[in-house]
Structure formats: structure tokens, C-alpha cells
């Protein structure tokens, strides 16, 4: 006991303390993980509702001759969004070594990919809205609620990343010893990506099965 106390005392002395030591997980990390867990549950409820309503509805789905959802745009969207996690990972690894340029470039790349995703979503909406809206029938309601809610999450994620990006441009916030926020934001972004895969399966692929 005593010697551990000694080590800790040394490690928590005034100078040592002023640099955030990467000992253990931070409260912020846990907080974000739990937020993601509860958000994931929310998406699970929405996707669960989709399947419930679909199977209660009857054999023809989507109803009203809407036809199966088109696949091209969503697949492109997937190809844009899913890889957007890579630059974040790369940026995070970079800043852990104190390489700010990697942080800046990585975040910028993710921003570009994320915005592209939202633009593609908007074009998809523009096209779909001609055929059906949120008020057409329950399929329309589900489609716009689920994709819209996910789109909102992408937007929130992008806001967080651009905010990090701004801070990283300012310069004196992140370094090898202080990068908690990068790590935490990355968790959120990976989550937004992963949820999209579940949505792709539910909304776009499952009606074809």
C-alpha cells in the first residue's frame, strides 16, 4: 500500500498533475459510451417499430405500390459514410503522438465525407418526396422519421467535429497528453456510422428479402 501511495503522490504532484496523464479511462469517455448506448437503444426502438409495423401490416410492403426503395443512392451514401470513420481514427492516433497536422487533416477529411453524405441524403429526399411524403402512409412516416433522425445525428456529429476542427486550428488545445475530446467525439462518429449500416439493412435492403 505505502509504496503505491508514494508513486501516486509523486504522480499527482503539482507539475505531474498539470499534464493529464493517460491513466485509466476518463469520466468523459464513460459518459460518451453511455450516451451512445442509450442512443443506440433509441434507434433499436425505431427499427423495431419499423419491423413491427411492417409485419402487422400484411404481405405487401411497402404499401400502396411505392415499390422497393431504390438502392443506388443509399449504397453511394454508405460508401461515403462508413469510410469516414477512418480519417477520425487516423487523426486520433496522430494527436496521441502530438502530431497536430494529422488531427487537422483527418478531421477535415471526415467533415468533407459527412457533408457529402448529407447532400446525398438531400437529393434522395428530393426524389422520394415526389413519390411519397411523411403523411402518405405509415411507410412514409417510418422512412422519413428514421432516415431523418439519423441525418440529424450526422449533423450533430459534424457539428462536434467542426468544433474540434476549429479548436485544432486555434492550436493550443490538443496534444499528446490532452486529446480526450478527440477520442470522445470519435466514439460518437463511429456510432453514427454503425447505425447507418443498420438503417441501410432495415429500410433499403430488408424489403427485398
Question: In 3-state terms, what secondary structure has residue 114?
Answer: helix
- Rounded CA separation 175/13 (Å): 21
Q: Which is nearer to another protein, 17 or 112 (CB)?
A: 17
Interface with another protein in residues 78-97 (CB under 8 A): 97
Q: 189 near 88, Cβ under 8 Å?
A: yes
Residue 42 touching another protein (CB under 8 A): yes
Burial pattern 88-117, b for ≥16 Cβ within 10 A else e, equals bebbbebbbeebbebbbbbbbbbbebbbeb
- Candidates 66-74, 82-90, 114-122, 176-184; binding stretch for another protein (CB under 8 A): 176-184
> Does 100 participate in binding another protein (rule CB under 8 A)?
yes
* 59 is a site residue for another protein (CB under 8 A): no
Identify which of 125, 123, 122 has the alpha carbon closest to the alpha carbon of residue 143.
125
Say whether 200 sits in a helix, a strand or coil: helix
* Binding of another protein by 99 (CB under 8 A): yes
Out of 44, 79, 112, 122, point to the residue binding another protein (CB under 8 A). Answer: 44
Q: Give the footprint of another protein on this chain (CB under 8 A).
A: 1, 4-5, 8-9, 11-12, 14, 17-19, 21, 23-27, 30-31, 34-35, 37-39, 41-42, 44-46, 49, 52-53, 56-57, 63, 97-101, 134-135, 137-142, 145, 159, 163, 167, 170, 172-178, 181
Amino acid at each position: 500500500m505505502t509504496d503505491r501511495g508514494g508513486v501516486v503522490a509523486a504522480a499527482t504532484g503539482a507539475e505531474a498533475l498539470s499534464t493529464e496523464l493517460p491513466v485509466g479511462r476518463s469520466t468523459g469517455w464513460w459518459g460518451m459510451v453511455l450516451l451512445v448506448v442509450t442512443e443506440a437503444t433509441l434507434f433499436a426502438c425505431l427499427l423495431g417499430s419499423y419491423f413491427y409495423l411492417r409485419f402487422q401490416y400484411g404481405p405487401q410492403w411497402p404499401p400502396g405500390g411505392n415499390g422497393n426503395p431504390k438502392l443506388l443512392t443509399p449504397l453511394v451514401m454508405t460508401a461515403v459514410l462508413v469510410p469516414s470513420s477512418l480519417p477520425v481514427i487516423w487523426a486520433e492516433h496522430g494527436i496521441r503522438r502530438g502530431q497536430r497536422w494529422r488531427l487537422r487533416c483527418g478531421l477535415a477529411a471526415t467533415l468533407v465525407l459527412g457533408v457529402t453524405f448529407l447532400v446525398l441524403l438531400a437529393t434522395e429526399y428530393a426524389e422520394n418526396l415526389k413519390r411519397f411524403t411523411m403523411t402518405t402512409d405509415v411507410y412514409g412516416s417510418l422512412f422519413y422519421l428514421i432516415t431523418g433522425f439519423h441525418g440529424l445525428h450526422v449533423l450533430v456529429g459534424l457539428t462536434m467535429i467542426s468544433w474540434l476542427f476549429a479548436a485544432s486550428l486555434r492550436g493550443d488545445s490538443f496534444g499528446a497528453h490532452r486529446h480526450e475530446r478527440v477520442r470522445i467525439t470519435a466514439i460518437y462518429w463511429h456510432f453514427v456510422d454503425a447505425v447507418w449500416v443498420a438503417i441501410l439493412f432495415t429500410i433499403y435492403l430488408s424489403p427485398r428479402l
